């Protein structure tokens, strides 16, 4: 039996005695009734097979909650309440009544007096006719830190339904600003009492007479209990997408990425803080002015590959690419037969100030990530990269076999002695490295056509069945794993790998922030739909986000001939759309100086330098606390080639903030491509001027629509068009 709090006991008792509902309706196989108790307004969802979920839409400690008005409408009911606390207004709406319903309740409070809130109860109570103490269920995931305010669970006694609850934390910004509180860890709990609780106030009260939203919950229901982890993943993605369509979402802005790239490239090449010199070669520092840490191969390649992408797109040459390539052979250890993490010629600089900063210590993903990038260069025809890659494969396979495809966090590269087995007690090692290793092996198979590498990829991939949502160790590695698994599915036709690719992406969306933090310093930059680098990281990070962005583009490219989940198409495209707007705010040049950390953990932060900060924090924390991340410089170089289409001989570029595919130019002045994503959501197309000359007369058409799309001219002379996802577009012009 479940233990219950006094608030749950009281609510359960009163709800059991409630006979008359203020409002009732049905949607699909669910019934919804609104009840008033002494201190609360409850919306009770009747679930199949006798379960129910009670949602507290309004609360007034001490009781005496009086309904002043209750007015039904097409979507639900509006309720006006009065109590000693103040005036509350509750809007309850139920969408998609014919299918799987989404419930929303929004509560506004206008306090009578300045109000401190030291405690607030959770707003979900799972119940049945035998009482909440006799129910059982599984909580699949819940909010961690400032990630999306969600909790996803299935009731198993009685066996009824699955529910995704999402608190629209954007609506809580005024509350947090007034009370100087954070939305971190506000959604969670234990069965049967879960959901959202207002962050406790200490010194700063809510002001009397000022209305503020204190709850804006979206709840999606499904009348199934997933039979396995894969059904659990798919259902999460589908429920999240169904809520996302109804969620208030901020507008995006066009950012001038060609200009941003030019500034970043100049500072990357010319700033002394970005470089170190060892044994006659120049190497990128990991962080601006970080001269104490020896060069790392991951850092060199993490910047080099986006530069190569940009050069291929722009048909230009950059001397910096050759500078970096010349230093790569110095990382190879012929004694072990593998590339090293640290440059051997400078490894004696390590002083052990962090547990991995010791000579010979390998962080598991640091072996595979550089190999992945070397393989990408090798497949482009780079012979030096090909040799480094191939010469390291046998050792990499030896390590995989030694650890049985279950990698620890840190180990000694020469002896394979485990130095740190788990991220924390009972949590296991770097679980997604098996997917990253599978990606490396697939690249080796593509390069050599040797079957043993494909076999290795499959062996590693199958171990990922063990993890469910916990597969996520580091965002970019999980994203790379998703693409490898999709490729394995296409090669083998084994459905397991497709399901595992969904598992990776579900874990990524679990670690996003689908709300905009507009309190404190957060008012200076957008944060909607950002991604955290680790499953317990307190901040979002430019390097991991940039690589996930590229990995998603790669995933969608491989999925062009695969019918992936519609919910995934929607969510992946939306993550990309928001990133190409907000990623510019990783540059300290875009932020007020007062919100930048003056003494970062590593190196220094130069607010005038177009080198991205590693970290953007919750609104009450300064950003750049880790440092200014040189290996995050791939940000702009990844965005430009994927979102700007070159038009040879013309004074404009074509920009789309959604992912696209199938670009074709017919007879020079007739271009066709497809916009991916979901047709229910908007995206932006721009004709971006590249010269001062007048733009030609353009006609932009969408397949299936009779009239051409009309655009508006921006203040910079560009043309902007509003479209939706999942469209086939043609652009024609005459001079």
**498 within a domain of the structure (yes/no):** no
Alpha carbon distance, N-terminus to C-terminus of the chain: 77
125 neighbors 132 (Cβ within 8 angstroms): yes
What pLDDT was estimated at residue 98?
67
Is residue 59 domain-shared with residue 115, that is, in the same domain?
yes
Is residue 607 domain-shared with residue 664, that is, in the same domain?
no
Is residue 20 domain-shared with residue 93, that is, in the same domain?
yes
Residue 679: DSSP 8-state: T
**265 within a domain of the structure (yes/no):** yes
Residue at which a domain ends, from 643, 670, 698: 643
Tokens of 318: 């950059």
Is residue 148 domain-shared with residue 256, that is, in the same domain?
no
132 neighbors 194 (Cβ within 8 angstroms): no
Is residue 205 domain-shared with residue 68, that is, in the same domain?
yes
**Angstrom distance (rounded) from CA 356 to CA 420:** 9
Residue whose C-alpha is closest to residue 615's, from 545, 530, 540: 540
Is residue 623 domain-shared with residue 730, that is, in the same domain?
no
What pLDDT was estimated at residue 123?
97
Tokens of 147: 């990630």
Is residue 563 domain-shared with residue 652, that is, in the same domain?
no
Is residue 56 domain-shared with residue 171, that is, in the same domain?
yes
Can you give the C-alpha Rg of the chain in angstroms? 27
User: Rounded to 5 degrees, what are φ and ψ at 155?
Assistant: -80, 130
**Angstrom distance (rounded) from CA 443 to CA 484:** 9
**Angstrom distance (rounded) from CA 152 to CA 169:** 16
**38 within a domain of the structure (yes/no):** yes
What pLDDT was estimated at residue 422?
96
The total number of residues shown for the chain amounts to: 735
Mapped onto helix, strand or coil, the DSSP state of residue 296 is: strand
Is residue 639 domain-shared with residue 698, that is, in the same domain?
no
Alpha helices in 43-127 (DSSP H): none
Tokens of 384: 């030096």
Bridge-based pairing state of the strands 338-339 and 332-333 = antiparallel
**484 within a domain of the structure (yes/no):** no
Mapped onto helix, strand or coil, the DSSP state of residue 641 is: helix
**Angstrom distance (rounded) from CA 242 to CA 679:** 14
Mapped onto helix, strand or coil, the DSSP state of residue 642 is: helix
**Angstrom distance (rounded) from CA 35 to CA 41:** 6
Mean pLDDT by 10 residues, the chain (735 residues): 89 91 94 96 94 96 91 96 97 86 97 96 94 95 98 95 98 98 98 98 96 98 94 98 97 97 97 95 97 95 97 96 97 97 92 83 97 98 98 98 98 96 94 98 98 98 96 98 98 98 98 98 98 96 98 97 97 98 98 97 97 97 97 95 94 97 86 97 97 93 94 95 97 92
**708 within a domain of the structure (yes/no):** yes
**Angstrom distance (rounded) from CA 145 to CA 618:** 9
284 contacts: CB under 8 Å, gap ≥ 6? 274, 275, 276, 295, 299, 300, 303, 324, 630, 631
Residue at which a domain ends, from 617, 643, 669: 643
151 neighbors 123 (Cβ within 8 angstroms): no
Alpha helices in 361-382 (DSSP H): 364-379
Mapped onto helix, strand or coil, the DSSP state of residue 293 is: coil
What pLDDT was estimated at residue 721?
98
Token look-up 């990309």 returns 576
**Angstrom distance (rounded) from CA 484 to CA 479:** 9
Mapped onto helix, strand or coil, the DSSP state of residue 399 is: helix
What pLDDT was estimated at residue 287?
98
**Angstrom distance (rounded) from CA 476 to CA 544:** 5
Token look-up 């939306």 returns 574
54 neighbors 11 (Cβ within 8 angstroms): yes
Question: What is the greatest pairwise CA distance in the chain?
Answer: 84
Query: How open is the CA angle 711-712-716, to the nearest 5 degrees?
Result: 130
Residue at which a domain ends, from 224, 244, 264: 244
Is residue 620 domain-shared with residue 714, that is, in the same domain?
no
Token look-up 């039996």 returns 1
Cα dist from 89 to 71, 119, 528, whole Å = 11, 20, 27
What angle do the packed helices 634-643 and 257-270 form, to 10 degrees? 150
Is residue 609 domain-shared with residue 678, that is, in the same domain?
no
**59 within a domain of the structure (yes/no):** yes
What pLDDT was estimated at residue 325?
97
Is residue 66 domain-shared with residue 175, that is, in the same domain?
yes
Range of the domain at 198: 6-244
127 neighbors 135 (Cβ within 8 angstroms): yes
**329 within a domain of the structure (yes/no):** no
Number of domains in the chain: 3
720 neighbors 254 (Cβ within 8 angstroms): yes
User: Rounded to 5 degrees, what are φ and ψ at 412?
Assistant: -80, 125
Beta strand segments in 499-649, E = 512-513, 530-531, 540-541, 615-616, 644-645
Beta strand segments in 461-579, E = 512-513, 530-531, 540-541
604 neighbors 528 (Cβ within 8 angstroms): no
User: Rounded to 5 degrees, what are φ and ψ at 358?
Assistant: -130, 145
**685 within a domain of the structure (yes/no):** yes
């Amino acid at each position: 039996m479940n233990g219950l709090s006094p608030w749950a006991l009281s609510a359960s008792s009163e709800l059991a005695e409630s006979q008359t509902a203020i409002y009732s309706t049905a949607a699909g196989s669910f019934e919804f009734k609104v009840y008033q108790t002494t201190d609360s307004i409850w919306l009770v969802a009747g679930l199949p097979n006798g379960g129910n979920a009670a949602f507290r839409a309004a609360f007034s400690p001490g009781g005496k909650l009086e309904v002043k008005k209750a007015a039904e409408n097409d979507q639900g009911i509006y309720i006006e309440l009065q109590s000693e606390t103040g005036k509350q207004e509750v809007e309850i709406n139920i969408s998609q009544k014919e299918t799987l319903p989404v419930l929303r309740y929004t509560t506004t409070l206008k306090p009578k007096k300045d109000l401190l809130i030291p405690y607030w109860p959770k707003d979900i109570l799972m119940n049945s006719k035998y009482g909440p103490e006799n129910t059982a269920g599984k909580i699949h995931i819940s909010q961690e830190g400032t990630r999306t305010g969600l909790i996803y669970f299935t009731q198993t006694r009685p066996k009824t339904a699955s529910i995704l609850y999402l608190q629209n934390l954007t609506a809580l910004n005024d509350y947090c600003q007034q009370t100087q509180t954070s939305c971190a860890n506000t959604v969670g709990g234990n069965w049967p009492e879960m959901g959202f609780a207002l962050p406790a106030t200490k010194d700063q009260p809510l002001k009397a007479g000022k209305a503020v939203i204190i709850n804006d919950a979206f709840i999606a229901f499904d009348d199934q209990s997933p039979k396995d982890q894969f059904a659990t993943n798919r259902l999460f993605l589908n429920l999240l997408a169904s809520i996302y369509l109804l969620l208030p979402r901020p507008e995006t802005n066009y950012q001038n990425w060609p200009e941003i790239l030019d500034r970043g490239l100049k500072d990357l090449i010319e700033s002394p803080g970005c470089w170190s010199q060892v044994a006659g070669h120049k190497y990128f520092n990991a962080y601006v002015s970080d001269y104490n840490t020896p060069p790392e191969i991951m850092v060199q390649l993490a910047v080099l590959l986006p530069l190569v992408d940009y050069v291929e797109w722009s048909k230009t040459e950059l001397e910096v690419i050759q500078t970096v390539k010349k230093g790569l052979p110095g990382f190879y250890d012929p004694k072990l037969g593998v590339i090293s993490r640290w440059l051997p010629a400078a490894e004696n600089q390590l002083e052990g100030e962090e547990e991995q900063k010791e000579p010979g210590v390998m962080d598991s993903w640091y072996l595979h990530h550089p190999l992945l990038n070397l393989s990408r260069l090798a497949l482009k025809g780079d012979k030096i990269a090909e040799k480094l890659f191939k010469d390291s494969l046998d050792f990499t396979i030896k390590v995989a076999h030694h650890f049985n495809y279950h990698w620890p966090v840190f180990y000694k590269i020469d002896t394979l002695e485990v130095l740190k087995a788990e991220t924390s007690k009972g949590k296991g090692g770097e679980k997604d490295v098996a997917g990253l290793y599978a990606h490396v092996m697939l690249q080796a198979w593509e390069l050599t056509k040797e079957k043993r590498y494909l076999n290795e990829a499959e062996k590693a991939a199958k171990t990922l069945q063990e993890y469910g949502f916990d597969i996520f160790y580091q965002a970019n590695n999980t994203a790379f794993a998703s693409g490898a698994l999709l490729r394995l599915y296409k090669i083998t036709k084994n459905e397991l790998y497709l399901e595992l690719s969904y598992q990776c992406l579900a874990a990524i969306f679990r670690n996003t922030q689908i709300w905009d933090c507009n309190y404190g310093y957060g008012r200076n930059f957008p944060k909607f739909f950002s991604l955290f680098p680790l499953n317990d990281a307190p901040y979002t990070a430019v390097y991991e986000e940039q690589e996930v962005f590229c990995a998603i583009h790669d995933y969608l490219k491989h999925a062009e001939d695969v019918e992936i989940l519609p919910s995934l198409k929607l969510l992946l495209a939306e993550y990309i759309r928001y990133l190409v707007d907000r990623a510019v705010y990783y540059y300290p040049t875009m932020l007020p100086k007062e919100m930048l950390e003056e003494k970062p953990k590593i190196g220094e932060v130069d607010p005038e330098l177009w080198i991205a900060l590693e970290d953007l924090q919750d609104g009450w924390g300064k950003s750049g606390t880790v440092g200014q991340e040189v290996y995050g410089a791939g940000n702009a170089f990844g965005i430009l080639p994927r979102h700007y289409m070159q038009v040879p001989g013309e004074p404009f570029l074509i920009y789309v903030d959604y992912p696209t595919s199938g670009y074709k130019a017919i007879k020079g002045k007739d271009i066709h491509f497809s916009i991916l994503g979901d047709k229910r959501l908007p995206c932006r197309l721009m004709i971006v001027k590249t010269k001062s000359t007048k733009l030609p007369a353009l006609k932009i058409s969408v397949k299936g629509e009779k009239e051409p799309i009309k655009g508006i001219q921006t203040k910079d002379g560009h043309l902007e068009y509003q479209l939706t996802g999942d469209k086939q577009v043609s652009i024609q012009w005459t001079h």
